[in-house]
Structure 1
Amino acid sequence: MNNKSQEENLPKLLNHPYLKRMLLFAVAVQFTMTVLSFFAYIWLGALMLVLFLITLVIIWRFSNEYNEELNNYILNLSYRIKRGQQEALIKMPMGIILLNDENLIEWINPYMQLQLPSDQQFLGEPIREVNRDLSDYFDNEKREDFNLVEWNEKIYKVSLQKDINALYLLDITEYASITEEYEKTRPVVGWLFLDNYDEITSGLDDRGVSGFDSLLTTYFSNWGKQHGIFYKRISDDRYFLLLDREELERLENDKFNIIDSIRDRTSKRNLPLTISIGLSYGDASFDKLADIAQNNLDLALGRGGDQAIVKAIDEEPRYYGGKTNPMEKRTRVRSRMISQAMQKLMNDSETIYVMGHKNPDMDSVGSSLGIARIAMMLKKTVYVVIDEDDVNKDVAKLLEEIKKHKQVNANLISSTEAERMIDANDLVVLVDHHKPVLSIAPNLLKKTRRNMVIDHHRRGEEFTENPLLVYIEPYASSTAELITELFEYVSTDGEPINRIEATAMLGGIVVDTNNFSLRTGSRTFDAASYLQSVGANSTMIQRLLKEDPESYLKRSQLIETLEYVIDGVAIAYGADDEIYPSVTAAQTADTMLSMSGVEAAFVITRRSEETVGISARSLGKINVQAIMEKMGGGGHLSNAATQIDGQSISEIIEELKEVIHSQLD
């Protein structure tokens, strides 16, 4: 190695310019002293010269020995590094796979070969045939830095060096199993509520109540032991639950059959009990999980009870059960309390705005007119928000009749007018819906925080923000039925309900019950009787609901496409290039229910160039709401719908079939 190379290999300390200057300075000083010594004494100069030469020899020999030792060290270190690289490439506990430009395997390091079956040949094979997950990761341009791949019963973390087509696989099977075990044992917090415990026990004597409680204790004790669930009875109708994630998965796989089981067992004793469950898990404190579980329970009760709702932190809820019509819990006392609370909110408000859902039906319009009449009876300023350009033919006919009643018609305004007039002190009343996205004018809710909800649909996760009053009764036939009962508790100082308002509300009940054939209870007839007594015109309702020949023919065309997905479940669909009114699809679904062998009907039609709608109906045995929620919609146990953008009819048919099979098989 030449001097230049040696100099370049010197450590920074010896090669430092400051050190060089110090050495040169020391040599110069000694040389100067040697020269001066000759002027003083010859013998002293000779001695100093000898010492100077000895010093130069020592420095020269030290420099050579140091450079030789340093070069040997560098050569040895370089060899060790290269040897280590080779050994690491061959023996390190990481799999390495090299591919050629055709994605064929060229080389696998020895460690990886030991992890793979010895009786299989991998060299020269396409990576896709060896492991599809590895191939997908290699081909994916949007790949992440690392990806998990399962291969030969092991789990690897994979990374890619694209410039040399090298895949690196790190075995993390042990860590993955630890993570899996951790996930299985994560705590799940929940609440279990006996929906109609008070109603059942109110008709029993003390002995009967004790026997019923003993039955529940035995059943829940066996259920808890079977699934490893800790439970604690907090009150007569409320239990606290604590379990782990693995047991929750088992419960979900069984579709929470405890809901059906306990209802069936108690029904045999003529004490049909239904339960609701709210569960939560995730990265949060126990008090946060308990709050979310309580919200899930409230949501289950708002949807009519008899169901379980599971929700993890920052995830969508999962619904189970809800197969039966909710039991009637409404009492005259509750109706009176709601009526009084609503009247107080109205009296405390400057102006009241009432609005139903987009593309309103008869129930939405009739309910809006009913609330407006209650506000007028309290001598408050009230407006009904409705866009006449976005209504079906039956509602359009109703609006023409309303124009003959100047006082009622004067209260109707468009969404644009309402948004211009409303202020923060006004009250917004949502009727026949509770999701802001479905409102005719959702911006009204942003301009005032004062709002209330009256609805008969099962509650969904999306809900209006901070309502002052909520009256949701899923068992009711219609929102018009709920509002009719509120009139009994309103002061009669103002002008009472008139004929057109009563007719619109009765029309809402008729439409939502399909002429009193579905979801009809004794109080439905009571409400209809009251509306008839105050002037509701049944003949006008029949005239408003008449369909024209074109609609009849379109309905017949849809029924011609009827096919069964599974026993009892039928679908019908329209052409992808033809737009159908939503009412035609709904009427077609109702007609399909009248056919033998049809328990649930789904009608898929195009509503606009971009939107496809599904109308779903059932006779009560099949929960069409749960099916529609899987596809982004909602509704009632036996009456639901959804709208989907950007897909064709055929795509939605296949998606609907998959959801039906997953929910009902």
Structure 2
Amino acid sequence: MDFFKFNQLPSYIRDKRIKIPFFIMISLLFIILVLSFINNWFVGILMLVLFSVVVGSVIFISNYLVDETNAYISDLSYRIKEGEQEALIRMPIGILLYNADLEVQWVNPYFKKYFQKKDIMGQKVADLHPQLGQLITEAKSEALTTFEWNQRFFDVSVQHDIRAIYLVDTTRYSSIVKTYNDEKIVFGHIFIDNYDEISQSLNDRRKSNLNNFVTNQLTNWAKAHNIYLKWVDDDRFIAVLNRKRLYKIESERFDIIDTVRETTARQNYPLTISMGFSYADEDEKVSNYSDIAMSAQSNLDLALGRGGDQVVVKSKKEQARFYGGKTNPMEKRTRVRSRMVAQALQDLIRESDQVIVMGHKYPDMDAIGSALGIRRIAQMNGKTAYIAVKPEEFSHDIEKLITEVKKNEDIGPFVVNAETLRDKITPQTLVVIVDVHRPSIVCDKEILDKADQVVVIDHHRRGQEFPENPVLVYIEPYASSAGELITELFEYQSNEADPISKIEATAILGGIIVDTRNFSLRTGSRTFDAASYLKSCGADTVLIQRLLKENLKAYLSRSHLLESLEMYYGKLGIATGEEDKNYGTVVAAQTADTMLSMENVEASFVITKRDDGRVGISARSLGEINVQTIMEKMGGGGHLSNAATQLADETVATAKKRLVDILKSIYEPTEKE
């Protein structure tokens, strides 16, 4: 019989640190007992009684402690198990257990009340709710995932090892967060794009009437959407609203810009407006209203850089959302800006030790011609300039152009491979990118990254991607080409400088001809002024025609692509190449241009495999359809009527599906209405 249950105690009580003092104490008592008997038997008897009482007490206490501890643990274990069962049934957390086949094995009542069906045992989790099934198959951790279900919000966690799903109703918390975000302040800048140009020709009475008309239009719109609107200048307003109102306006796609444009056009005063709106990001605890206002101004600048007549909505960390942009940008009637840019560019060139010029990847005639123009301007200001190129990216017409350029001993040596220029860059080097403003598609991104001073000269509508901190930006979407912008800069150079050479004038004029399709698209009075100036400098139109001649192979490739033409929505043409056949960028662009000449084709898209392995899409329109915004949704950009994109890790078929899905999202809702 085990009178001493020390070994039945918990391990922390049976620790040596407790055992050793206990046995030392017993040993000492036993020694004292022996010594007592040796010295005096009467004292020994008393000590024996005392020793027996102590040992008996220890045994009794040990047994009592063991029994009480076991009873306590048993009771606690029972209560824990009972509490677990009650919690599974009554606690406000949904629990679902599923088997290896992803079928429901058990749910607690709290979870079950969210299902409309009562008998759910044995059903597939994905059949009960597709997102729950997706969480089981895709979730790699037990992190919480928030989703909406039956107009309620839930945090869901999946515990894969025991195949359990936990669901917590966070609707009240989510509604508080939503209300908080809805009430966040939104700051906006509103600008009348062409107010100065229109008002110059009006007398005071008509100008006042125009101001009143536009102000009334904007005031009525602001009042209808509960926006605080303040007129701060003849052509500028500021707006203050909250996120909830902004969501509503975005759902209407800022129809006020269409209203203003259409109503003023009927009165022969075609005004357009641009807007930039911004707000604090959701992870910002304290809103800095100054930063929000500055971000709104940046968004307005982006809208104006894209040609105006549109709205840009964006916080600091979000991707920009664009609305409008349905019209081609109007040509400005003043050359003040080109004169200011010419002066600023002269100062930058003179302060630099050298200039490097480059266009975009797979350059066209406009990119090369513009680069030659900037090289000449640098030379006029006494600086050496190099044109960075990659010969492996040349198309057939560019190869012929570079061959002609190389014949000129004063220009040829300065057209060099981009790789050889990377090591020549110094902190004083000025890098000028022409006919492009997106860093990802410049001829050589490493040169751009190394440069401390960057100048951007482009005629494409500005996109969200842009070089960091350029020292000079000259983007004019109204211009037909970058060559047109650069030609105007020649007028403000020193008369003592060497005039532009014949081959340079020819290349720049060739770029204008290509970008305007022989002066039929995107041309203004200044386009013809530039062409006239280049012609006076000796531009050879016969040479341009020779350079632009296509070979038989390209002609047959274009004809082959046209055979694949499919029409969508009665006005959109899409042509596709084979997966295993590469097409040149020029062939794809020419095919898109040819499709526009066909009856009922308002916009054309050509999807082909490129020589670099990527899939390219060339998009063109007659102006009614904005192909730029369509290409931006696929990572590209360009003009309202001329845009493109390149897609990596895509096939022609998947690229076509993406394009068709975008077109479907744009045109099918309109048809239903």
TM-score by length of 1: 0.91
1:621 maps to which residue? 624
Question: Letter of the aligned partner of 1:497 in structure 2?
Answer: I
Of 429, 444, 455, which residue of structure 1 is paired with 2:447? 444
Q: Any conservation in 2 of the 1:580–1:605 contact (CA below 8 Å)?
A: yes
Whether contact under 8 Å (2:459, 2:480) holds in the other structure is yes
- Residue 76 (structure 2) aligns with: 77
Quick one: distance in 2 between partners of 1:578 and 1:64?
Answer: 90
Matches within 5 A, 1:646-661: 646-661=649-664
* 1:363 and 2:361 aligned: no
Paired residues of 1:576 and 1:649 also in contact (CA < 8 A): yes
Alpha-carbon distance change, 530 to 52 in structure 1, aligned in 2, over 3 angstroms: closer
Would the aligned equivalents of 1:478 and 1:509 in 2 still touch at CA under 8 Å? Answer: yes
The CA deviation at 1:36 is 8.9
Which residue is equivalent to 1:8? 8
| 1-structure distance, mates of 2:516, 2:589 | 12
What is the count of residue pairs matched by the alignment?
661
Deviation of the 1:47 alpha carbon: 7.5
- Asked if the contact 2:437/2:467 (under 8 Å) is kept, the reply is yes
Pairing 1:187-202 to 2, within 5 Å after superposition = 187-202=185-200
The corresponding residue for 1:560 is 563
Deviation of 1:656 after TM superposition, in Å, equals 0.9
- The alpha-carbon distance between structure 1 residues 318 and 71, as it changes in their structure 2 partners (threshold 3 A), is same
| 1:162 matched residue in structure 2 | 160
1:660–1:8 CA distance, 2 compared to 1 (3 A): same
**Residue identity matched to 2:22:** K
The aligned residue for residue 405 of structure 2 is 402
Residues 34 and 49, structure 1, Cα contact 8 Å, conserved in 2:
no
Structure 1 residue 286 and structure 2 residue 289: aligned? yes
- Report if the CA contact (8 A) 1:34-1:52 is conserved: no
| In 1: Cα distance, 2:203 partner to 2:4 partner | 108
Post-superposition Cα deviations, 1:326-362, rounded to whole Å, max 9, x if no partner, equal 1222622222221122112222222222222222211
Counterpart amino acid of 1:8? Q
2:33 touches 2:44 (CA, 8 Å); kept in 1?
Answer: no
Give the drift of 1:496. 0.7
Question: Does 130-139 or 645-654 show the bigger shift?
Answer: 130-139
8 Å contact 2:139–2:158 — kept in the other structure? no
Q: Which residue is 1:270 aligned to?
A: 268
**What is residue 645 of structure 2 aligned with on the other side?**
642
Contact 1:627 1:663 in 2 (8 A): no
Aligned ranges for residues 53-92 of structure 1 at < 5 Å? Answer: 67-92=66-91
The answer to whether the 8 Å contact 1:190/1:240 transfers is yes
- Deviation string, structure 1 residues 576-613 (Cα, Å, up to 9, x no partner): 22222111111111111122222211111221262111
Counterpart for residue 22 of structure 2: 20
Contact 2:7 2:14 survives alignment (8 Å): no
Cα deviations by residue, 1:10-29 (Å, 9 ceiling, x for unpaired): 79679834763586479569
Q: State the identity as a percent.
A: 48
Of 576, 580, 584 in structure 1, the residue corresponding to residue 583 of structure 2 is: 580
Go from structure 1 to structure 2 and tell me whether the alpha carbon gap of 1:111 and 1:358 turns closer, same or farther (over 3 Å shift). Answer: closer
Deviates more, 1:548-557 or 1:456-465: 548-557
Quick check: 568-577 or 627-636, which moved more? 568-577
Counterpart for residue 337 of structure 1: 340
How much does 1:56 deviate?
6.5
2:225 corresponds to 1:222: no
Query: Which letter maps to 2:666?
Result: Q
Write the letter of the residue equivalent to 2:107.
I
Aligned to 1:297, the other structure's residue is in SS state helix
Partner of residue 119, structure 2? 121
User: How far apart are the structure 2 equivalents of 1:113 and 1:433?
Assistant: 58
SS in 2 for 1:193: strand
Kept in 2, the 8 Å contact 1:6–1:71? The answer is: no
- Summarize the Cα distance change of 1:545–1:64 in structure 2 as closer, same or farther, 3 Å threshold: closer
Residue 176 of structure 1 is matched in structure 2 by 174
Paired amino acid for 2:175: S
Give the TM-score normalised by structure 2: 0.90
Residue number in structure 1 paired with 2:183 = 185
**1:276-314 C-alpha deviation (Å, 9 max, x unpaired):** 122223134323322322222111111111111122342
SS of equivalent to 1:535: coil
Q: Structure 1 regions of 5+ residues with no counterpart?
A: none
| Distance in 2 (alpha carbons) for counterparts of 1:397 and 1:513 | 21
Query: Aligned partners of 2:185, 2:350: CA distance in 1, in Å?
Result: 48
Larger mean Cα displacement after TM superposition, 546-555 or 633-642: 546-555
1:96 paired residue number: 95
1:538 to 541, 544, 548: 541
- Relative distance call for 1:558 and 1:169 in structure 2 (3 A) is same
Q: Write the distance in 2 (CA, Å) between the matches of 1:595 and 1:133.
A: 46
CA distance in 2, matches of 1:11, 1:368: 84
SS at match of 2:240: strand
1:486 to 482, 486, 489: 489
> What SS does the corresponding residue of 1:315 show, helix, strand or coil?
coil
CA distance in 2, matches of 1:336, 1:13: 92
> 1:132 is matched by which residue type in structure 2?
P
- Which of the residues 353, 358, 361 maps onto 2:356? 353
Tell me which amino acid in the other structure corresponds to 2:176: I
For residues 3-51 of structure 1, the C-alpha deviation after alignment (integer angstroms, 9 at most, x for no partner) is 5656534796798347635864795698589759956xx6x88878777
Structure 2 partner of 1:241: 239
Q: 1:231·1:242 contact (CA, 8 Å) conserved in 2?
A: yes
Residue 603 of structure 1 corresponds to which residue in structure 2? 606
Q: Does 1:458 align with 2:461?
A: yes
| 1-structure distance, mates of 2:554, 2:47 | 126
Q: Is the 8 A contact 2:5 2:62 kept in 1?
A: no
Contact 2:197 2:333 in 1 (8 A): no
Contact preservation (8 Å) 2:359, 2:435: yes
CA distance in 2, matches of 1:292, 1:548: 50
* Cα separation, 1, equivalents of 2:474 and 2:161: 64
Residues 114/415 of structure 1: CA separation in 2 closer, same or farther (3 Å cut): closer
Using the TM superposition, give the Cα deviation of residue 121 of structure 1 relative to its aligned residue in structure 2, in angstroms.
Answer: 0.8
**Kept after mapping to 2: 8 A contact 1:116/1:152:** no
Deviates more, 1:185-194 or 1:508-517: 185-194
Check 1:580–1:2 CA distance in 2 against 1; reply closer, same or farther (3 A cut).
same
Out of 257-266 and 387-396, give the one that drifted further: 387-396
RMSD: 2.9
**Compared CA separation, residues 45 and 518, structure 1 to 2 (3 A):** closer
Aligned residue for 2:460, secondary structure, equals coil
Q: What is the match of residue 317 of structure 1? A: 320
Q: Partner letter of residue 86 of structure 1?
A: Q
Greater CA drift, 219-228 or 138-147: 138-147
Range with greater deviation from structure 2 (422-431 or 506-515): 422-431
Q: What's 1:231 paired with?
A: 229
